[in-house]
Amino acid sequence: MEAWAWTAWRPLRLADPVPARTLREQLDGGQAFRWNVDDAGVWTGVFGTTVAGLRSGPAGLEWRGVVGVASTEAALQTYLDAPGAQAQLVNKRILQIRQMVAQLATSLGEPLGGGQHALPTWAQLAAATDGQLKACALGYRAAFLRGTARRLQARPRWADEFQALSTADLLTELQSLPGVGPKVAACVALFGFGRLECFPVDTWVVQALAAAYGFRGWAPVRLEEFGRAHFGPAAGLAQQYLFAAARAGALLSPYAPTDVAVKPRPKSRGRARR
């Protein structure tokens, strides 16, 4: 077993300063799922094959990495300076996502030392057994994940090829993957490919737009068109604020009566299944 140790803490220079509160939002706000904070305020996380620690002290942001790994600081700078990291709130659903991601890494990902693991590659996911995937509590998503993994591991250059596409073609290509619909495709294009003009519409954004603009009963696809037209090249950033505001309950207006959040109960009329 090889030696594994943290480096000393060193200041981290970023293009934009990151206060402690912003750091928390970036690392635990619903976009990243692999950071944990201890009682002393030290964040430990994994992204790509980088294992890093972060803390916010009086002298500003400090980092530490694994002894012998030279790329950690540059990786952190790229990671934390990436556009699009905005405030969000933790809910129980996000806790479940964290759990699924952690188990996938532990079960299938490459060990990085110190008990940390990279996320599994698409090839590793494609080769996983049913039992391994089932143990990660993915539910019905297991089959989707495997299907997408098999498609992508057979196409090693997929990321570069996708990046070369127009945003419209990128969304179409993403949605051809199993389990990837309009919302997830928009998220991947926005967060993964930096297409800031994408406007993911989920249940929270539906509520936010109903409350803020009075768009009651609009179909998601129509709200997406509105978002892109109204907010323009940075619609994705606007979406993040809308989402955070909706979740925080900050969007109250005459257009948002209490019944907005009430969903009709699904009626299960006798089994018509054959």
Partner DNA sequence: GTCCAGGATTCAG
Partner DNA sequence: CTGAATCATGGA
Binding site for DNA (CB under 7 A): 30-31, 88, 91-97, 99, 134, 137-140, 144, 175, 178-185, 187, 200, 202-205, 219, 239-240, 243, 263-269, 271-273
Single-letter amino acid code for the residue at 65: G
Our CB check for DNA shows the closer of 77 and 107 to be 107
Tokens representing 156 are 């090693």
DSSP string, 52-105: EEEEEETTEEEEE-BTT-TTHHHHHHHHHH-TT-------HHHHHHHHHHHHHH
CB 252 to DNA: min, Å: 18
Q: How far is the CB of 236 from DNA (least distance, A)?
A: 9
State which residue, 98 or 117, has the beta carbon closest to DNA: 98
Beta-bridge partners for 50: 47
Question: CB of 44: closest distance to DNA in angstroms?
Answer: 21
Query: What CA–CA distance (Å, rounded) separates 25 from 35?
Result: 11
Give the Cα separation of 166 and 261 in Å (integer): 36
Instruction: State the nearest-atom distance from the C-beta of 167 to DNA, in Å.
Output: 16
Gap between the Cα atoms of 188 and 214, Å rounded: 28
Q: Which is nearer to DNA, 5 or 219 (by Cβ)?
A: 219
**By C-alpha distance, which of 129, 186, 125 is closest to 151?**
125
1 versus 265: smaller Cβ distance to DNA: 265
Give dist(CA 4, CA 81) in Å, integer: 27
> What is the nearest approach in angstroms of DNA to the Cβ of residue 1?
31
Phi then psi for residue 36, to 5 deg, are -130, 145
Closest contact distance (angstroms) between CB of 247 and DNA is 8
Phi, psi of 47 (to 5 degrees): -140, 130
51 or 186: whose CB is closer to DNA?
186
Nearer to DNA, 127 or 138 (CB): 138
